[in-house]
Amino acid sequence: MKKLYFIVNLIAGKATIGSMLGEIIDEFNKADYEVTIHITQNGSDAQEKTRYACTHGYDLIVCAGGDGTLSQCLHGIMNSERKLPIGYIPAGSTNDFGRTLGIPKATMDAVRWITHGAPMKIDIGCFNDRYFTYIAAFGAFTNVTYETSQQVKNVLGHASYILNGLTQITNLRSKLMRIEYNGNVLEDDFIFGMVTNSGSVAGLLSMNDFLLDDGVFEVTLIKKPTNLVQLQKIVHSLLNISEDIDREYIRFFRTDKITFTALNDEQISWTLDGEFGGDLPVNVVENRSKAIEFMTGDRDQSIFADPDLIS
């Protein structure tokens, strides 16, 4: 019998995962897994327990929670010599990375996605000495995800990010930065920048034409607009990314390594997968190609209770 270490954040999203634990474990047992379950106790708990699983003979780690809990698990795997494959049961408010992987929205379908699936190697981001799955970002709105309380997220869902973001529009401040990548150097005032490996960001922005295992990230940089009308054009361009990008103010490119340097004394805060990522003056982001194996399901829809609920 295979050994599965199951890490669960009971307060993620609308806190409904707890009522389904029996059914979930039963499904894992039917797939010939002996399950050890751990309920997260604090912010770093998932990372510590993931490292424990990697060094104590387990075959698979499964994380049930939001993107922040998943990020902690990935830190544990990346900091372990033996890197176990991981399955993800999205239970948070946005679940951007779950959408990117195509994990079904229904919880039990997500479980079957793991038990009927196979491991797929994907890229992981390295931000200085930390890791992220789908986004490292600075500037406008990047503090919304980690400053919005869990209670507000539970009640309003995606709307909480929009409402909190709108309250900051009048306070947008640009960041004077030098950005180096692929032999190129940019110096300008930016109000926002993000390095992504995802088809969805904060449940709002959608991106096409990307791969999870191509060894490069998608980078979006937004220069300081001259007026409110230009800001509205920029927002429209971002929310309709499939249309022509406003190239006067938005830079978009791909790279496997990029360095951001603040050119004044002001601290620049970053977010990593919706969590606070620090505020150092120089930050290096690198792509660790195919660093972790994720369980990705067979898209034979006969295993799902409701095929329409596949992301």
Residue 265: give its domain's CATH number: 2.60.200.40
Do 149 and 51 fall within a single domain?
Answer: no
Q: What is the pLDDT of residue 238?
A: 63
Q: Kindly state the helix (H) or strand (E) to which residue 73 belongs, with its residue range.
A: helix 67-78
Token representation of residue 152? 């507000």
Range of the domain at 138: 131-289
**Same domain membership, residue 265 and residue 229:** yes
Q: Are residues 113 and 177 in the same domain?
A: no
Please check whether residues 99 and 246 belong to one and the same domain.
no
Considering its fold, how many domains does the chain have in total?
A: 2
Do 93 and 34 lie in one domain? The reply is yes
Q: What string of pLDDT tens digits covers the 311 residues of the chain?
A: 999 999 999 887 666 888 999 999 999 999 999 999 999 998 789 999 999 999 999 999 999 998 888 989 999 999 999 999 999 999 876 667 787 788 998 999 999 999 999 999 999 999 998 999 888 988 865 554 444 444 444 443 444 444 444 445 445 678 899 999 999 999 999 988 889 886 555 444 445 556 788 899 989 888 887 777 777 777 666 666 545 566 778 888 899 999 999 998 777 889 888 788 898 999 999 999 999 999 997 645 444 455 444 44
pLDDT recorded at residue 152: 42
Same-domain check for residues 136 and 75:
no
Residues 58, 77: Cα–Cα separation, whole Å: 12
Q: Tell whether 283 and 241 lie within a shared domain.
A: yes
The pLDDT score that the predictor gives to residue 166 is: 41
> Does 85 lie in the same domain as 221?
no
**Could you tell me if 95 and 144 lie in one domain?**
no
Residues 143, 160 within the same domain: yes
Calculate helix-pair angle for 45-55, 67-78, nearest 10 degrees: 40
The answer to whether residues 120 and 69 belong to one domain is yes
Where does residue 288 rank: exposed (0-12), middle (13-18), buried (19+ CB within 10 A)? middle
List Cβ neighbours of 82 (8 Å cut-off, separation of 6 or more): 54, 55
- Residue 24 and residue 74 in one domain: yes
pTM (2 d.p.): 0.78
CATH number of the domain that residue 80 is part of? 3.40.50.10330
Task: Check: CB of residue 207 under 8 Å from CB of residue 240.
Answer: no
